[in-house]
Amino acid sequence: MSQTSVQAAHHTAPTGFIRKHVFSLDHKVIGIQYYGLALVAVVTGMVLSWIMRIHLVWPNSPIPGLQFLSKVGAPGGVVTPEYYLSLMTMHGTLMVFFVLTNAPFAAFGNYFLPIQIGAEDMAFPRFNMMSFWTTFVAFCILISAFFVGDGPPLSGWTAYAPLSAVGPDSGPGQGLGQTLWGLSIFVFCIASLLGSLNFIATTLDLRTKGMTLARMPICTWAWFITSCISLLAFAVLMPACLLLILDRIAGTSFFVPSGLNVSDHLQPHQGGSPLLWQHLFWFFGHPEVYIAILPAIGIVTHILINSMRKPMLSHRVLIYCMMAIGFLSYMVWGHHMFLSGMNPFSALVFSFPTLMITIPATIMTLIWLGSLYGSNLRINAASLFCLGFISMFVSGGVSGFFLAQPSIDIYLHATYFVVGHFHMVMGVAAIFGVFAGTYFWFPKATGRMMNETLGRLHFWFSFIGTYCIFMPFHYLGLAGNVRRYSAFTDDFLVPLVPVHKFITYAALFTGAAQLIFIFNLFYSRFKGAPAAANPWEATSLEWSTPSSPPPFDNFAGQHPVVYHDPYQYGVKTASGADYVMQTSPEKILTT
């Protein structure tokens, strides 16, 4: 690449603490910042889920300290039904937006995409910095909802109108709390759009010499496809949030129908369509779940290939499958609305592409399994989490086949079956992808290895624990257990409480097991065993940087030249190694 093309993202080495670690233009620092924010969000979200689970099985027991968070919502530490819904709303919002969109995509993508394509930095480093700090502001606005007047909103992360649109009449937290929620998500959308723009421009324009699109690692492809999906999806959520905020504070009637009487108050709106919110939200919402899973798919595939020491059966088909999923994700939003009262014929129109989208997902799964078969897989914490990902992706994905059919969904909609489905794919599989990426790339980002024993312990506890938590959800859903209930007092729900108790114990156990990971992460950062330059004997460009962590411009002023695709594993080389790095001009011999 010529000298001038370097200037696209060139910035001088930062000096001073603020420039180096706070308002940094370096994509690596920004990636770590996103990861840190996701870590804070996931711990917060997990604590909220513990409170929810404890309340579900011991509804009258006080939770010590909670009364200090909310006197109204948890008097004496006992969670009220409304506060349960508020906790659920914040749990969902934090997890979907600030964990699942941030960690696999923004954190890992920001850190590794530029290095994997041989660039110095992202295309627009200042936009990159702005995008993280805008996300941070969005996070602060959301968290502030805990501490205002009535507390956080209770309409769910889906914030269905008219509940979310009418204001304080619809419950505690529906005043300022819901408005803060809308504002937070609006700001988050801006940040996401800036981030996606950066990813797309970087991938298309800053690839180093020899790095064709076909030679990009599959995780880079995943980040690129995700950023394309994300660009169009968040561009729809943003106006939706704006309309919601206007309904709440400006008296417009986009979503609130006429004659609505809430808490004995006739609402001053008329003519709005609650269905409009659902359309706008789910048009974003369905691509959003693929934004959550596709980067994890890319990371897991990338790590598995390295661990198997052989390429996947078809790298190209995997990429086409990811593209197909991205494309189809825009056609299926109505499958969240089968019971909304829309024309039943529309259910067919949405059900068909929903079932079609299972095809590329299945092809990918079969490629993974077919490639794993007969391979000499190196077992380590990262590859274990990859295997766990495949298991969870299949388990969680298969329940989607059922939900895709309107006739079955009539029964299963808004039950724990749905909750089990999306938690397995998003809450476990995607997070397993994040864990796998962490264990795999930790040596590159810090120059130290994470503790392998603790990593394997973390895996087994998490794997068994999450199956114990979320598999029973499907049974509960089939038994008719409705979701978003704060208590199970109906006759048909009471016999299910023992199952909920088991789940709660499993959840607390699995949550505690995550402490192993957090300890490992921070301990290894400072005291971990020093890592070799390429501890996994990997081929992609990030392993050819001169140091770990890489210098601020990634390649110390050099511009790598790429000669091969990234998956030359299991090859015969002159040096005796079974892999050839992308930057090595070595010819590859046939077997």
Residues 445, 412 contacting (CB under 8 angstroms)? no
Determine if 570 is a binding residue for other proteins (CB under 8 A): yes
Of the candidates 99, 229, 280, 364, which one interacts with other proteins according to CB under 8 A? 280
Of the candidates 32, 187, 229, 236, which one interacts with other proteins according to CB under 8 A? 236
Determine if 126 is a binding residue for other proteins (CB under 8 A): no
Determine if 310 is a binding residue for other proteins (CB under 8 A): yes
Nearest to 70 by CA among 61, 80, 59: 80
DSSP states along 531-572: PPSSTT---SGGGGSSSSSPPTTSSTT------S-TT-BS-B
Which residue carries 């004997």 as its tokens?
537
Q: How many CB atoms lie within 10 A of CB 338?
A: 24
Q: What are phi and psi of 540, to 5 degrees?
A: -75, 170
Give CA–CA dist 45/383, Å, rounded.
Answer: 26
User: Least distance in Å: CB of 163 to other proteins?
Assistant: 17
The residues, ordered by sequence, that sit 6+ positions from 114 with a Cβ below 8 Å of its Cβ are: 9, 27, 120, 121, 122, 202, 206, 554
User: Least distance in Å: CB of 208 to other proteins?
Assistant: 10
Nearer to other proteins, 47 or 588 (CB): 588
Determine if 216 is a binding residue for other proteins (CB under 8 A): no
Residues 465, 509 contacting (CB under 8 angstroms)? yes
Binding window for other proteins (CB under 8 A); candidates: 156-164, 233-241, 363-371, 376-384:
233-241
Residues 411, 474 contacting (CB under 8 angstroms)? no
Of the candidates 202, 307, 438, 451, which one interacts with other proteins according to CB under 8 A? 202
User: Least distance in Å: CB of 361 to other proteins?
Assistant: 25
User: Least distance in Å: CB of 341 to other proteins?
Assistant: 12
Nearest to 297 by CA among 343, 241, 345, 360: 360
Give CA–CA dist 170/79, Å, rounded.
Answer: 18
Q: Report 253-272 residues binding other proteins (CB under 8 A).
A: 253-254, 257-258, 270-272
Binding window for other proteins (CB under 8 A); candidates: 180-188, 205-213, 319-327, 478-486:
205-213
Is 428 buried (19+), middle (13-18) or exposed (0-12) by CB count in 10 A? Answer: buried
Q: Report 6-65 residues binding other proteins (CB under 8 A).
A: 6-9
Binding window for other proteins (CB under 8 A); candidates: 228-236, 389-397, 441-449, 485-493:
228-236
Of the candidates 138, 143, 161, 243, which one interacts with other proteins according to CB under 8 A? 243
Give CA–CA dist 54/500, Å, rounded.
Answer: 10
Of the candidates 82, 563, 566, 581, which one interacts with other proteins according to CB under 8 A? 563
Q: What residues make contact with other proteins under the rule CB under 8 A?
A: 1-9, 123-124, 193, 196-198, 200-202, 204-207, 209-212, 231-232, 234-236, 238-240, 242-243, 246, 250-254, 257-258, 270-273, 275-276, 279-280, 283, 310, 563-564, 568, 570-572, 585, 587-591
